[in-house]
């Protein structure tokens, strides 16, 4: 209860601060050239917004469905597996921002690189490789740390020997999931920057349905490690799909540039 109230107060404070900063910045500008803060969007504006917002919705929804599906799968395995899963999942979300930050960096800087490509007609492969390499490197570092903490420091989370043993057994899968997540988020950010929204929507819908179908099928995992292997498979499938898609888009642009040269 206290944590929920603290989170609510923090959200209210941050929203109030951002609104005050926005109000100050608007006062510094010419009032005639600034649009109202609240305005009913036109149909055309709403369509453009939905074209970008709908794929983002499916990406977030897909992750939430899979994460909750994994939790439901583990919940059938007993209290020890569920306790270990809670520690592993908290650790997973703790290290997720490593990949998220590289993905957001891709969304911020890649549009400028793409604009330069359009002006010069020369694909900027070096910049894209740098972003991808950064995501891979950051993911590997985070994966090692994510693996070491529950495997070597299980006593920090629990005094129960059975839960600690489950943590040590599943820690390598946690590390693999973190590394694949970083690669997937890096490539996903690059696809968002290139406005490849249709592919992202279809990919998340198909991957999410396939993952949930596996969790509900007779082949569903019967152990904590098995459930986490499903999560690792979900992350790996995203990273492979998004990496290949970026390669295809880059090669397509390279061929188009060569044809027009």
Specify the pLDDT at position 35. 59
- What mean pLDDT is predicted for residues 180-190? 92
Specify the pLDDT at position 209. 92
- What mean pLDDT is predicted for residues 138-144? 93
Q: What mean pLDDT, rounded, does the chain reach?
A: 84
Q: Which tens digit of pLDDT belongs to each residue from 240-252?
A: 999 999 888 888 7
Contacts 24+ apart (CB under 8 A), 253-256: 253/117, 253/123, 254/123, 254/125
Q: Does the pLDDT of residue 228 top 60, yes or no?
A: yes
The percentage of residues in the chain with a pLDDT greater than 70, rounded to a whole number, is 88
Specify the pLDDT at position 121. 64
- What mean pLDDT is predicted for residues 111-119? 75
Say which range, 17-31, 62-76, 195-209, 216-230, has the weakest mean pLDDT.
17-31
């Amino acid at each position: 209860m206290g944590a929920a109230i603290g989170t609510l107060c923090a959200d209210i404070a941050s929203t109030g601060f951002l609104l005050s900063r926005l109000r100050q910045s608007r006062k510094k500008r010419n009032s005639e050239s600034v649009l109202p803060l609240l305005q009913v969007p036109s149909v055309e504006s709403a369509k453009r917004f939905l074209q970008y917002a709908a794929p983002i919705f499916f990406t977030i929804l897909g992750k939430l469905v899979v994460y909750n599906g994994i939790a439901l799968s583990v919940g059938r395995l007993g209290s020890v597996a569920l306790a270990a899963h809670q520690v592993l999942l908290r650790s997973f979300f703790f290290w997720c921002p490593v990949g998220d930050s590289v993905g957001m960096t891709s969304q911020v800087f890649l549009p400028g690189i793409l604009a330069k490509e359009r002006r010069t007609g020369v694909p900027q492969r070096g910049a894209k490789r740098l972003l991808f390499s950064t995501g891979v490197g950051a993911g590997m570092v985070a994966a090692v740390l994510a693996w070491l903490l529950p495997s070597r420091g299980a006593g920090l989370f629990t005094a129960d020997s059975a839960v600690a043993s489950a943590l040590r057994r599943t820690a390598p899968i946690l590390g693999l999931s973190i590394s694949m997540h970083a690669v997937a988020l890096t490539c996903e950010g690059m696809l968002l920057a290139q406005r490849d929204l249709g592919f992202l929507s279809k990919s998340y819908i198909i991957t999410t349905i396939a993952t949930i179908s596996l969790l509900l099928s007779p082949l569903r995992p019967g152990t904590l490690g098995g459930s986490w292997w499903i999560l690792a498979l979900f992350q790996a499938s995203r990273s492979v799909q998004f990496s290949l898609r970026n390669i295809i888009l880059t090669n397509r642009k390279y061929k188009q540039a060569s044809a027009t040269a």
